């Protein structure tokens, strides 16, 4: 593991935006800082461990030089125990905390927990087993060393020396005790209170010194000092103070023994006391003593002290073992703590990026595309993490785009739904019948009005092809117009539906997409039957009014002529004859005018349905133009017929009437120097007839009303001529339009469809 | 299984106990004015281990905790007074004498030299008319006098200290005798 990894956060959503670079640079700086802190902490732990082991090693080396009582010192043991308990708790805490975390992660089925468990177990086992083996070996070694410490020859020497010392002391004690017993019997009869017997006492004691080889003899009356005798060979020695307790013990028990080692003297005194009680008086105590000179006393004391040290060490052997064992345990625990911590740390550094990646994949799979794995690593795992983050960023970005598009689509669909609803409402309420046909000729929509107009049900129309919907002969007219609109978008068509004639204006509008491709058609049907009936009614009303007006005009001169004739007759005027003649002439003329007018009305009113036949156009033009050849001398009259339309199918008489009407007006309006021409040519499936003149032309406002009945620009005539022309052309399913002729004049264009 | 475990545990504890445990015996109290004088004996305190320790010259201590307390059924016992008696023995291998210092609440009240282990054991385990408490107020008759001896401490698994103490010896305050004038 030569890489750095650090998990800082994992919820910062990334995005491919302008601020990403800025945020990324800040994150990088923070990661580097974190990594630096990480490194410092690792180096700190390692340095601390090194220092600790150095001190521990130094202390172990020094402990071999320290006196045993220092090693087994209670405070040292307490400190070692305290440190070890703390270390045990720390190790347990580190291990249990990580094991608990692993357990919880496994219970929660956190991704990567199994891998982490294996890795942690491996690391702990790798660190735990050698350390524990080392501890066991070192412990055995220490235990053996301590046991060997008590099996050295020095111990035997000490033991034997101490026994020798004790035997010597006991021997002296026995000798002194015998001497004390002897002396106390010798002074049994001496009154120790009597001054005159003191000299005798002294002699006995001196003799005793010599005979028993004693160094000191002391005499007490119970605890009261009486006399002391010292061997002059012993040198300048102060008599020792055996102590009242010693004397009282001797009084109580009859004898006592004590080794006296005064602090202010180098010699030791081996004292034995013997007492004897006389009736009615205090007991007499004789203390017989031997002086151990300074050298011997020092050697004896050193020997005893060494032996005591050995015994103390033996008594404290468990503490000594414990001390070393605790020391080793402390080192072991520190190694264990560091190794387990480092093991766990390394395991975490390996598993955390993997775990973060696993968690990231899970989150991304659940749809959290903003999830960001923020793991600082500069090895292959780092590359993997970066790739993962880049991938999620791109997915997130794509997802955002998709969502935006989806939102747009949703909005568009909503708008379309609204528009469709609006259109549906409009179509439902509109008076016109509307059908839409897709590119395949299938009816996709159809409003109720259209169904009512065409007397069909929705099932018969919707979703069906138009050929099947309009297959009968009457509706087939609409189908024919749909298939061949003849360059027009609107047609007026009459259908016999349900036994009644209906007049519709049918509009066929192609639907085109943005590329201009036709994707279908909208068919709009407008029922003109009632409108036409109303127009007819209005026309007839107007006709009645005009007839009344036109009839009234000739009636006035007729009435005036009749009244004049009656007056002349009553007055017997001589000019009666002339008046009669004038009057009759006026009446005849006006009646003739009235007859002409009635004929025209009759013709307009009783326009028969056209009966088409094959007509030679050139012949028709020739016959018609011949009527006008001599009317206006100098006027140029001519015609032309395209070869492909020599013959055409229409009602010859009605079209002749149309041509006469148009030629009447043209000849009338064109000056003698002008020209009037009639042309025929083919345009797709129709025949175009044009009557053109070079007259003054027709004003624009007059063009709009030109084909209305009783409209006239000439101020004479009935105004029915062009209305009749329009009616004839319409009966032929054709159209007529008026345009300006270039450079001057007017041109009427008639389009007659040919079946 | 549970029965087997219980029996095994009891056997182990019995073996671990190793004979009669140390205990406080002959607890007796006398009231001299306001002073309470306590007398008692510590039995089975001197085992081989303690004797070896004493003869090795290591300071060896017996600590007695003496207290007056009133037991309470639903709460901790109320302690009115507590006194600590420490008896420390130190062997001088040169003079073959034991120096025995006695401290009451840290203050030295007696220091003596004894010879022989029997006398030492008597000195350390027999307490006679120790002025343990000075009563300042009337004590409820149900109040108890309690004595416990501590013989030292051992460590479980080398780490966890375990004080070796006797059980509490108790007597009621109403059983305190008056010192005859």
Span A334-364, pLDDT tens digits = 777 777 777 777 777 777 778 788 888 888 8
Whether residue B157 has pLDDT greater than 80: no
Residues 6+ apart with CB under 8 A from A729: A658, A735, A736, A750, A752
Per-residue pLDDT at A670 = 92
Cβ-defined contact of A245 to B113 (cutoff 8 Å): yes
Residue A417 tokens, joined: 């739904």
The rounded Cα A159 to chain-centroid distance in angstroms is 86
d(CA A95, CA A107): 18
For residue B115, the chain A residues in CB contact (below 8 A) are 249, 258
Residue A473 tokens, joined: 């002969």
Whether residue A371 has pLDDT greater than 90: no
Best CA proximity match to A692, nearest among A615, A748, A633: A748
For residue A90, the chain B residues in CB contact (below 8 A) are none
Q: How far is B181 from chain A (nearest CA, A)?
A: 29
Cβ-defined contact of B94 to A268 (cutoff 8 Å): yes
Per-residue pLDDT at A338 = 78
Identify the residue among B57, B96, B115, B158 best suited for mutation to test binding to A, counting A beta carbons within 10 A and taking the highest. B158
A301 reaches B (C-beta below 8 A): yes
Distances (CA, A) of A254 to A8, A11, A204, A250, A286: 91, 97, 20, 5, 10
What is the band of A196 on the pLDDT scale with cuts at 50, 70, 90? Answer: confident
Per-residue pLDDT at A616 = 92
Cβ-defined contact of B58 to A322 (cutoff 8 Å): no
Distances (CA, A) of A684 to A482, A615, A678, A753, B112: 16, 19, 20, 9, 152
What DSSP letter does each residue of A5-66 carry, written as one string?
EEEEES-----SSHHHHHHHHHHHHHHHHHHHHHHHHHHHHHHHHHHHHHHHHHHHHHHTTS
Identify the residue among A304, A317, A330 best suited for mutation to test binding to B, counting B beta carbons within 10 A and taking the highest. A304
What is the band of A29 on the pLDDT scale with cuts at 50, 70, 90? Answer: low
- pTM equals 0.51
Per-residue pLDDT at B38 = 93
For residue A258, the chain B residues in CB contact (below 8 A) are 95, 97, 115
d(CA A137, CA B87): 42
Closest Cα in chain B to A303: B94
Ramachandran bin of A155, using left for φ above 0, alpha for ψ from -120 to 50, beta for the remaining angles:
alpha
Q: A246 versus B87: which is more confidently predicted? A: B87
Q: How far is B127 from chain A (nearest CA, A)?
A: 20
Give SS3 for A265.
Answer: coil
Per-residue pLDDT at A5 = 39
Angle (nearest 5°) at CA B27 between B22 and B33:
145
For residue A304, the chain B residues in CB contact (below 8 A) are 93-94
Region A378-396: mean pLDDT is 83
- Smallest Cβ–Cβ distance between A322 and the set B115, B155, B160 belongs to B155
Whether residue A620 has pLDDT greater than 80: yes
Q: B4 versus A146: which is more confidently predicted? A: A146
Cβ-defined contact of B94 to A245 (cutoff 8 Å): no
Distances (CA, A) of A454 to A424, A440, A446, A447: 19, 21, 11, 11
Residues 6+ apart with CB under 8 A from A204: A183, A186, A187, A190
Give SS3 for A549.
Answer: helix
Angle (nearest 5°) at CA A41 between A36 and A43:
95
A88 reaches B (C-beta below 8 A): yes
Give SS3 for A401.
Answer: helix
Region A468-477: mean pLDDT is 87
Q: A600 versus A705: which is more confidently predicted? A: A705
For residue B95, the chain A residues in CB contact (below 8 A) are 258-261
Region A59-85: mean pLDDT is 68
Cβ-defined contact of B56 to A259 (cutoff 8 Å): no
Per-residue pLDDT at A23 = 43
What is the band of B10 on the pLDDT scale with cuts at 50, 70, 90? Answer: low
Instruction: Identify any residues that bridge with A220 across adjacent strands, giving them in sequence order.
Output: A225, A285
Whether residue A4 has pLDDT greater than 50: no
A260 reaches B (C-beta below 8 A): yes
- Smallest Cβ–Cβ distance between B93 and the set A243, A308, A326 belongs to A308
What is the band of A87 on the pLDDT scale with cuts at 50, 70, 90? Answer: confident
Best CA proximity match to A266, nearest among A287, A235, A228: A235
Cβ-defined contact of A315 to B53 (cutoff 8 Å): yes
Whether residue A387 has pLDDT greater than 60: yes
d(CA A446, CA B92): 130
Region A640-650: mean pLDDT is 88
Please tell me whether the peptide bond between A743 and the residue prior to it is cis, using omega within 30 degrees of 0: yes
Helix H, strand E, coil C: the string for A287-300 is: EEEEEECHHHHHHH
What is the band of A718 on the pLDDT scale with cuts at 50, 70, 90? Answer: low
The phi and psi torsions of A691 (rounded to 5 degrees) equal: -115, 115
Per-residue pLDDT tens digits for A281-316 = 778 889 998 888 878 888 888 888 888 888 888 887
Cβ atoms < 10 Å from Cβ of A97:
11
Exposed / middle / buried, residue B43 (Cβ in 10 Å: 0-12, 13-18, 19+): middle
The phi and psi torsions of A91 (rounded to 5 degrees) equal: -65, -45
Cβ-defined contact of A259 to B96 (cutoff 8 Å): yes
A325 reaches B (C-beta below 8 A): yes
Exposed / middle / buried, residue A387 (Cβ in 10 Å: 0-12, 13-18, 19+): exposed
- Smallest Cβ–Cβ distance between A261 and the set B53, B95, B161 belongs to B95
Angle (nearest 5°) at CA A48 between A44 and A49:
120
Cβ-defined contact of A307 to B93 (cutoff 8 Å): yes
Cβ atoms < 10 Å from Cβ of A574:
9
A168 reaches B (C-beta below 8 A): no
Whether residue A20 has pLDDT greater than 60: no
Closest Cα in chain B to A242: B95
**Contact criterion met (CB below 8 Å) for A315 and B56:** yes
Going by their DSSP bridges, the two strands A735-740 and A675-683 should be labelled as unpaired
């Amino acid at each position: 593991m030569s890489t750095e990894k650090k998990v800082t956060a994992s919820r910062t959503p990334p995005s491919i935006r302008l601020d990403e670079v800025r945020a990324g640079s800040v994150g990088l700086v923070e990661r580097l800082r974190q990594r630096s802190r990480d490194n410092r902490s690792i180096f700190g732990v390692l340095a601390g461990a090194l220092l600790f082991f150095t001190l521990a090693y130094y202390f172990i080396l020094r402990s071999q030089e320290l006196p045993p009582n220092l090693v087994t010192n209670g405070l040292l043991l307490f400190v070692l125990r305290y440190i070890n308990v703390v270390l045990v708790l720390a190790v347990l805490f580190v291990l249990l905390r990580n094991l608990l975390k692993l357990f919880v992660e496994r219970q929660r089925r956190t991704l990567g927990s199994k891998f982490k468990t294996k890795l942690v177990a491996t690391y702990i086992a790798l660190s735990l087993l050698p350390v524990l083996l080392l501890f066991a070996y070192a412990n055995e070694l220490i235990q053996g060393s301590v046991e060997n410490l008590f099996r050295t020859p020095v111990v035997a020497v000490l033991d034997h020396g101490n026994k020798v010392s004790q035997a010597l002391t006991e021997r002296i004690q026995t000798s002194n005790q015998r001497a004390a017993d002897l002396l106390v019997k010798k002074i049994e009869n001496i009154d120790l209170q009597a001054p005159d017997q003191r000299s005798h006492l002294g002699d006995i004691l001196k003799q005793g010194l010599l005979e028993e080889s004693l160094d000191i003899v002391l005499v007490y009356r119970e605890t009261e000092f009486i006399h002391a005798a010292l061997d002059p060979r012993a040198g300048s020695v102060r008599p020792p103070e055996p102590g009242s307790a010693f004397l009282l013990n001797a009084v109580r028990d009859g004898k006592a023994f004590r080794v006296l080692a005064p602090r202010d003297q180098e010699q030791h005194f081996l004292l034995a006391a013997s007492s004897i009680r006389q009736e009615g008086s205090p007991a007499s105590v004789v203390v017989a003593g031997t002086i151990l000179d300074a050298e011997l006393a020092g050697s004896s004391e050193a020997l005893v002290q060494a032996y005591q040290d050995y015994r103390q060490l033996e008594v404290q052997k468990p503490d000594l073992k414990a001390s070393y064992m605790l020391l080793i345990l402390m080192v072991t625990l520190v190694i264990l703590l560091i190794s387990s911590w480092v093991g766990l740390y390394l395991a975490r550094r390996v598993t955390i990026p993997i775990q973060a990646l696993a968690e990231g994949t899970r989150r991304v799979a659940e749809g959290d595309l903003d999830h960001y794995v923020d793991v600082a690593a500069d090895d292959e795992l780092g590359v993997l993490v970066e790739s993962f983050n880049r991938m999620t960023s791109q997915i997130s970005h794509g997802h955002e785009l998709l969502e935006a598009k989806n939102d747009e689509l949703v909005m568009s669909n909503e708008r379309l739904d609204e528009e469709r609803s609006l259109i549906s409402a409009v179509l439902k309420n509109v008076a016109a019948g509307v059908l839409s046909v897709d590119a395949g000729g299938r009816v996709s929509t159809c409003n109720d009005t259209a169904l009512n107009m065409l007397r069909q049900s929705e099932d018969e129309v919707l979703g069906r092809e138009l050929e099947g919907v309009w297959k009968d002969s009457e509706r087939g007219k609409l189908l024919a117009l749909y298939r061949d609109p003849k360059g027009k978008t609107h047609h007026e068509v009459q259908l016999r539906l349900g036994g009644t004639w209906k007049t519709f204006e049918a509009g066929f509008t192609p639907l085109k997409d943005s590329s201009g491709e036709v994707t279908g058609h909208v068919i709009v049907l407008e029922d003109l039957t009632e409108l036409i009936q109303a127009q007819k009614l209005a026309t007839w009303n107007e006709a009645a009014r005009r007839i009344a007006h036109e009839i009234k005009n000739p009636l006035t001169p007729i009435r005036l002529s009749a009244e004049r004739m009656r007056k002349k007759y009553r007055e017997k005027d001589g000019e009666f004859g002339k008046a009669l003649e004038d009057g009759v002439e006026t009446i005849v003329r006006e009646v003739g005018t009235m007859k002409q007018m009635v004929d025209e009305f009759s013709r307009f009113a009783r326009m028969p349905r056209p009966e088409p036949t094959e007509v030679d156009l050139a012949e028709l033009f020739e016959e018609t133009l011949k009527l006008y050849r001599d009317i206006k001398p100098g006027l140029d009259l001519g015609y032309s017929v395209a070869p492909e339309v020599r013959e055409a199918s229409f009602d010859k008489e009605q079209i002749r009437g149309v041509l006469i009407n148009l030629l009447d007006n043209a000849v009338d309006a064109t000056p003698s120097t002008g020209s009037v021409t009639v042309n025929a040519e083919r345009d797709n499936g129709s025949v175009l007839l044009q009557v053109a003149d070079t007259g003054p032309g027709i004003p624009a406002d007059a063009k709009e009303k030109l084909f209305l009945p009783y409209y006239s620009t000439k101020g004479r005539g009935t105004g029915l001529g062009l209305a009749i022309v329009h009616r004839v052309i319409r009966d032929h399913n054709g159209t007529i339009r008026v345009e300006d002729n270039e450079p001057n004049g007017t041109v009427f264009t008639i389009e007659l469809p040919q079946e | 299984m549970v029965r087997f475990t219980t029996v095994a545990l009891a056997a182990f504890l019995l073996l671990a106990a190793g004979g009669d445990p140390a205990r406080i015996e002959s607890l007796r109290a006398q009231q001299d004015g306001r002073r309470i004088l306590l007398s008692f004996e510590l039995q089975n305190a001197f085992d081989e281990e303690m004797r070896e320790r004493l003869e090795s010259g290591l300071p060896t201590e017996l600590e007695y905790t003496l207290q007056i307390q009133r037991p309470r059924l639903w709460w901790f016992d109320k302690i009115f007074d507590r006194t600590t008696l420490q008896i420390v023995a130190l062997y001088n291998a040169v003079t073959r004498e034991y120096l025995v210092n006695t401290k009451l609440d840290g203050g030295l009240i007696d220091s003596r030299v004894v010879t022989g282990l029997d006398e030492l054991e008597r000195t350390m385990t027999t307490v006679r008319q120790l002025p343990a408490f000075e009563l300042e107020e009337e004590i409820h008759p149900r109040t108890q006098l309690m004595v416990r001896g501590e013989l030292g401490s051992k460590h479980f698994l080398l780490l966890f200290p375990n004080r070796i103490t006797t059980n509490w010896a108790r007597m009621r305050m109403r059983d305190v005798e008056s010192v005859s004038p």
